[in-house]
Amino acid sequence: MERRNFIAGLSAIGLVSVLPHYAHSENIINSKIKPKMLKAGDTVGVVAPGTAVSDPEDLMRAKEALDYFGLKMKLGRSVAAGSGYKSRTIAERTEDLHAMFKDKEVNAVFCIRGGYGCSQLLDRLDFDLIKKNPKIFLGYSDITALHLAIHQMTGLVTFHGPVLLSGFSSWTETYFRKALFSSAPIGEIANPTIKNNFRVIHPLRTIKSGKASGMLTGGNLSLISSLMGTPFEIDTKDKVLFIEDVGEEPYRIDRMLTQLKLAKKLLDVKGVVFGECKDCNYEGLQSSRAWDYSLGEIIDSIFSELKVPVFSGLTIGHTSDQATLPLGVDVEMDADKCVLNILENAVYE
Among 25, 87, 119, 141, the active-site one is 141
β-strand 325-327 against 158-160: which pairing, if any? antiparallel
Q: Which long-range contacts (CB under 8 A, 24 or more apart) does 76-85 make?
A: 76/45, 76/46, 76/47, 76/48, 76/100, 78/48, 78/52, 79/46, 79/47, 79/48, 79/52, 79/53, 79/112, 80/53, 80/54, 80/56, 81/54, 82/52, 84/52, 85/52, 85/54
141 is an active site residue: yes
Q: Which long-range contacts (CB under 8 A, 24 or more apart) does 159-162 make?
A: 159/324, 159/325, 159/326, 159/327, 159/346, 160/218, 160/219, 160/242, 160/316, 160/317, 160/324, 160/325, 160/326, 160/327, 161/322, 161/323, 161/324, 161/325, 162/138, 162/322, 162/324
* Contact partners, residue 187, CB within 8 Å, separation at least 6: 178, 341, 342
318 is an active site residue: yes
Burial class of residue 130, CB neighbours in 10 A (0-12, 13-18, 19+): buried
Give the distance from CA 226 to its chain's centroid.
14
Among 98, 151, 202, 318, the active-site one is 318
304 is an active site residue: no
Give whole-number Cα distances, 195 to 170, 202, 317, in Å: 16, 8, 20
Among 92, 244, 249, 276, the active-site one is 244
H/E segment holding residue 212: strand 211-220
The 3-state DSSP class for residue 113 equals coil
Count of helices and strands (H, E) across the chain? 9, 16
Q: Which residues are catalytic?
A: 141, 244, 318
